[in-house]
Amino acid sequence: MTISTATTTTSPSRAPLAGFAAQLLLLTGLAVTSGLSSWGWVAGVVFGTVLCGLLHRAGLPSLGWANLITFGRAILTGGVTALVASTASGVAVPAVLLVTIAVVALAMDGVDGQVARRTGTSTAFGARFDMEVDAFLILVLSVSAAIEYGWWAIAIGAFRYVFVAASWALPWLNAPLPPRFGRKVVAAQQGVMLAVVVSGLLPGWLAVAALAVALGSLAWSFGRDVIWLRQASRVRHTARSRWSATLVTQ
């Protein structure tokens, strides 16, 4: 069966608005079934507002099926955000509900990429959109784990944002990285481990061990990439210096 290559499913002005309505509907459903605190509502609404506002600002002629799937994942992430904020403010949120929504969002991660490739609609925007949704979901899940097992667990979700902040001061960190299977494995591992830890199925010591493994593997992956980027930067600098010296002597 071949997936249609049509990329237009709704106008760019309606998609963010429809998404915001879906976000409010999800929040309402969560409030009715499990209860949301005031902070949970604030977190969910702010997330939805920022998400849909940025999509509208992007001014895409169409979202396309792949981006719509990512959009759906983002809306689910907004629901997870609201539940975690409610937990942090003292509301007893059912772990099974939080984990179920998170697992659905994580499982959909491979779908949008496959749809984009099969329909020939892969774009830089779509890849960035997918990456940002993944990163924020991991951050929220790490906050949920930190509430129970210590705030050091937030480092799992904060790693990527620290890397981005560092790249503002060190532009060589913005260079493209070669594809590596290990990086993909580590990235996928974070969501799985965090979901298992947040589920409460593991005894305390094993949950802490799982978080430590997730953090350690993430540090190894980022560290390897930083070393590679630094070496590549030095090679480029040396090449430019030799090229400039050659021009001067000619």
Taking the model in full, what pTM does it have? Answer: 0.86
Contacts of residue 190, Cβ cutoff 8 Å, sequence gap at least 6:
138, 156, 214, 218
Counting residues of the chain whose pLDDT is more than 70, the rounded percentage is 90
The label of the residue with tokens 């659905």 reads 104
When pLDDT is cut at 50, 70 and 90, the band that residue 139 belongs to is: very high
For position 245, what pLDDT does the model report?
Answer: 56
What is the reported pLDDT for 145?
95
- Residue 128: band (very low, low, confident or very high) from pLDDT cuts 50, 70, 90: confident
Contacts of 191 (CB under 8 A, 6+ apart): 102, 106, 109, 134, 137, 138, 141
* Chain segment 5-39, per-residue pLDDT in tens: 444 444 455 788 889 999 999 999 999 998 899 99
User: What is the per-residue pLDDT across 68-120, written as a single tens digit (0 to 9) for each?
Assistant: 899 999 999 999 999 999 999 988 899 999 999 999 999 888 787 788 778 77
Question: To the nearest whole number, what is the mean pLDDT of the chain?
Answer: 87
What pLDDT does 246 receive? 61
Mean pLDDT of 156-181: 90
User: 1 pLDDT band (50/70/90 cuts)?
Assistant: very low
